[in-house]
């Protein structure tokens, strides 16, 4: 099993990586196939992750977190993504998309009200950006939040929202049109909508190709009334704020993707050393060994990319281009490695009880979610001044 080389990092990073790897192997992996097959949310795994402090890794201690950074979060996501992408994306979305908008843009009262529970893992929050006609073009948002006295009345719908319909989902942060700017463009703001708000509905969960143990729903808002104090951040800055959140999230998704790519390498090495054909271990065939070598190169490159972006982010430098590079490289590495690993496993690679089969189904969304590969290419080109 390949090891992540983090010898240059402080002891707490190495210790965290080791702890999460053991947890992934001994707790997550044994129940992964069952939850995938049953499309069931792994509440027991999430609860243990909460007890470990994983949901609070980059949250300051004053708000109940661990006081760490995105590099720590990335290491945890890589180890979880190696074994089970559904579990990894539950953590990634909970932190990057659920908690970070509150930490980055919330008032002190909002931080105190929401972050301790979220950081403990006893509650989750969703990130309501995507709509039927507003994905990459989030400026096409149609959901509205109109003023009515001291309240907002929210109407509209959102699609593909992770962690939005679990039994422990506390609220969903949504982008909504709150007016019109002087230049005639939509004024888009961010509103916190608690899940117990009358008029808020998490519709039946999607029947997805992969990430079957991850919670994903379409949402509808029908005259959902929330106080104007639920405005998150400056009015009219909702779209801009969410773009910055997505930039951070891309680093986390890249770490998850690197883990998936490495998981495919690990499983292929193990299988190639065990499987025989024509009287020889298939690892002895150059076609197989060269394929796995390329897989390892992809996983290694993906790891370097996300760690570079995370290092710039932690240092307070502009990391937007590097985040897009990491997201592009790592997601493609995960998809390419999943395809090769499935081929190496032959018929077994088509059986869902094998981890590589689940990676094959799960990895495609990594090239789509939190900005498609095409969007990343556009952002990289823009970062080059093109």
Catalytic positions: 370
8 A C-beta contact, residue 243 and residue 190: no
Q: Which of 105, 9, 148, 119 is nearest to 58 (CA)?
A: 119
Helix (H, G, I), strand (E, B) or coil at 379: helix
**Which structure tokens are listed for 63?**
């708000």
Number of C-alpha atoms within 13 angstroms, CB side, residue 303? 22
What is the distance in angstroms between the CA of the first residue and the CA of the last residue of the chain?
41
Burial 31-46 (b: 16+ CB within 10 A, else e): bbbebbeebebbeebb
For residue 108, give both structure tokens: 């002190």
C-alpha distance from residue 76 to each of 89, 143, 162, 322, 379 (Å): 11, 35, 19, 20, 27
């Amino acid at each position: 099993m390949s090891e992540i080389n983090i010898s240059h990092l402080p002891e707490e990073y190495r210790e965290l990586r080791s702890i999460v790897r053991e947890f992934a192997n001994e707790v997550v992996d044994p129940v992964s196939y069952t939850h995938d097959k049953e499309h069931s949310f792994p509440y027991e795994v999430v609860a243990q992750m909460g007890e470990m402090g994983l949901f609070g890794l980059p949250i300051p201690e004053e708000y109940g977190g661990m006081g760490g950074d995105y590099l720590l979060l990335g290491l945890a996501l890589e180890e979880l993504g190696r074994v089970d992408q559904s579990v990894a994306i539950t953590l990634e979305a909970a932190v990057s998309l659920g908690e970070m908008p509150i930490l980055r843009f919330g008032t002190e009262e909002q931080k105190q009200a929401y972050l301790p529970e979220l950081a403990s893992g006893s509650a989750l929050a969703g990130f309501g950006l995507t709509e039927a006609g507003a994905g990459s073009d989030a400026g096409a948002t149609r959901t509205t939040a109109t003023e009515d006295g001291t309240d907002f009345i929210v109407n509209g719908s959102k699609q593909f929202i992770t962690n939005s319909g679990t039994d422990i989902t506390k609220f969903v942060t949504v982008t909504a049109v709150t007016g019109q700017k002087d230049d005639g463009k939509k004024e888009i703001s961010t509103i916190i909508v608690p899940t117990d708000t009358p008029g808020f509905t998490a519709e039946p969960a999607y029947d997805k190709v992969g990430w079957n143990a991850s919670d994903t729903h379409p949402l509808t808002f029908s005259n959902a009334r929330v106080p104007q104090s639920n405005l998150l951040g400056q009015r009219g800055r909702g779209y801009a704020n969410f773009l910055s959140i997505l930039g951070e999230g891309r680093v986390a998704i890249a770490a998850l993707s690197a883990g998936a790519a490495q998981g495919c390498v690990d499983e292929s090495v193990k299988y190639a050393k065990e499987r025989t054909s024509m009287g020889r271990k298939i690892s002895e065939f150059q076609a197989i060994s060269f394929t796995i070598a390329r897989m390892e190169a992809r996983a290694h490159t993906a790891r370097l990319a996300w760690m570079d972006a995370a290092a710039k982010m932690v240092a307070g430098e502009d990391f937007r281009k590097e985040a897009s590079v990491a997201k592009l490289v790592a997601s493609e590495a995960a998809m390419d490695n999943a395809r090769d690993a499935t081929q190496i496993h032959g018929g077994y690679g088509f059986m869902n009880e094998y981890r590589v089969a689940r990676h094959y189904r799960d990895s495609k969304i990594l090239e789509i979610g939190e900005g498609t590969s095409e969007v990343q290419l556009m952002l990289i080109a823009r970062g080059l001044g093109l």
